Copies of this chain bind each other. A is one copy, B any other.
Amino acid sequence: MPSSDAVVDLLGALAYGELSAFGHLADDAGLAPTLAGRAQMSAMAAFEFGHYQCLADRLVELGTAPEIAMAPFVAALETYHSLTKPSTWLESVVKAYVGDGMAADFYREVAALVDDGTAELIRDVLTDAGRAEFAVREVEAAVAEQPAIAGRLALWGRRLVGEALSQTQHVLADRDSLMLLLVEGTGDLTGVAGLISRITDRHAERMTALGLAG
């Protein structure tokens, strides 16, 4: 069984991930070229906030103030967001789908390593509510009109995965309980490598779904 420290860390990291995703998606909604696009990106943001609330409630049930549980993860997540700040609407769409999808894959993998109640909560807050269809539609339409965009967006996707892995490593180096959870949960370091390779495979599938080279 993972330690309760690891569960609190996991929920805290996930909660801050949702709270910061909320803020960044809400901000990126301002890049939308149409009110309809802005409303859709805002809907994603509001959806993430709902998830944040579920995670914060669970932390309170476990006797930990959400802000205490989240604090250790603020720097890494804000670094990720500042290094991957979208400068165009399409970059924000790709980030909302590809970046958040990658984070979701990671947490889904980790959910398999913790108690059933926590795992169920984690899986509940990771539904993506039609984000894939939205992203595919926006990117396909833009690339059809201006094919040169595809190369730039493919590079952008690689940057997202690179920065996400890099920040995840920083967090794991800093939080022993999470590192132990991963290593013991997956068996050993080979298990961790397998987990990372599954996540990057799914990242490549998402880029392909967008019609972009992974």
Contacts and interface: CB of A to CB of B under 8 A. Distances in A.
Number of copies of chain A assembled together: 2
Interface string A60-103: 00000111001100100000000000000000000000000000
Contacts of A214: none
A177 interface: no
B43 A46 contact: no
Given A42-B52, A46-B46, A49-B42, A67 B26 contact: no
A57 to B, nearest CB: 12
Given A27-B27, A36-B65, 19 more contacts: A16-B35, A19-B35, A22-B26, A22-B42, A23-B30, A23-B38, A26-B26, A26-B45, A35-B66, A35-B67, A35-B71, A35-B74, A36-B67, A39-B52, A39-B66, A42-B52, A43-B53, A46-B46, A46-B49
